[in-house]
Amino acid sequence: MFRIIILLLFTNLFFMLHSTGDISKYINMKYSFLSYSMIFVLFFLTIAEGIRWYFSDKKKHDEQDDCGCDSGHCHHDHQSDKNKKPKGKKVKRCLSYAIVIIPALSGVLLPVATLDSKLVDAKGFQFPALEDGNDKYGMHQVLNPDMSQFMGKDAFLDLVTKESKSYKPKEHITLTDEDYLKGLEVIYNYQGDFTGKKITINGFSYNGPNLNKNQIFLLRFGIIHCIADSGAFGMMVQFPNDVQIPNDQWYQVTGKLETVYYQPFKSKVPVLKVTNYKTISKPKDPYVYRNSFN
């Protein structure tokens, strides 16, 4: 019976994630067909487990009837026979069920949190060690979406070179939800080719370390494959005058691209010198995804 309950909980979890659209906060939606298929797989497993449990229970009743006596005059302790499992096994069984049930219940009962500036602070705002190429901070990335971690350096350079051809001729580049990560990749890898060009970008504000009073970072959380490899991607934004902008305020910003040496990263990064900006509502889906590797 417990197995049926567990399977029902997970079936309901995947169904709710897809029906509400919250599945997009966990995985890249190009893989959504995999999690969607799990609804049907788990549903059929639930039915199969229900059938197995029904016949197993029926068999126990049949064996009880075959002992040749009714419950009032039988000298066999059937209830005792059922519960002859050692206590250690019972404890292990309860723990194993609890370990499985807790995430299923938490996924259904707890609200889905949207990643924001608090997570950037919690993970730390730094690049991996650039000097030796070691990924010191795991899969956590900031500002520059570096796909070379997923496909190798040579393949990545070929990809960025190919993708840059559609951006370099443009004098005004607008990074949309669909090409946000791809466009940032190109800009970060060919900063010199985009100096002086107009860029429009959306994102939430983040007051990073060692910024001037007229500077903030404009970021969006990007998902490559799933939430585990997400990063806070975007660029530095510089206003004409000093500003006081709280974290997590959403803006659309247009400006001319320049480069600046940013001490915490010990490298040059793009900076968008603002010519026009406005506050916008938080998008229905605040995340962006890497949907193309070709």
Residue written as token pair 């026979």 = 81
CB 205 within 8 A of CB 195: no
Quick check: is 243 in a domain? Answer: yes
- Res 23: pLDDT: 80
What band does 176 get if pLDDT is binned at 50, 70 and 90? very high
Task: Point out the domain boundary residue: 109, 132, 155.
Answer: 109
Q: Locate 14 and state its tokens.
A: 């995947």
pLDDT of residue 254 exceeding 90, the answer is yes
Query: Number of H helices and number of E strands within the chain?
Result: 9, 8
Using DSSP's 3-state secondary structure scheme, residue 294 falls into: coil
**Same domain for 144 and 78:** no
Identify the residue whose tokens are 């005792």: 80
Claim to verify: residue 72 and residue 141 sit in the same structural domain: no
Does pLDDT of 282 surpass 80?
yes
Report how many domains make up the chain.
2
| Residue-wise pLDDT tens digits, 51-73 | 888 888 767 766 665 655 554 55
Q: According to the model, what pLDDT value does residue 292 have?
A: 60
Residues 139 and 246 in one domain: yes
Residue 294 in any domain: the answer is no
Q: Which residue has the higher pLDDT, 63 or 270?
A: 270
Q: What is the pLDDT of residues 210-242, one digit of tens each?
A: 899 999 999 999 988 787 778 899 999 999 999
What CATH number does residue 172 fall under?
A: 2.40.50.140
Average pLDDT rounded to a whole number, residues 243-271: 92
Based on the domain organization, do 143 and 256 belong to the same domain?
yes
Range of 218's domain?
A: 117-289
- Beta bridge mates, 199: 173, 255
- According to the model, what pLDDT value does residue 122 have? 65
Same domain? 283 vs 194:
yes
Report pLDDT for 197.
Answer: 96
Whether 270 and 131 map to the same domain: the answer is yes
Q: How many CB atoms lie within 10 A of CB 37?
A: 11
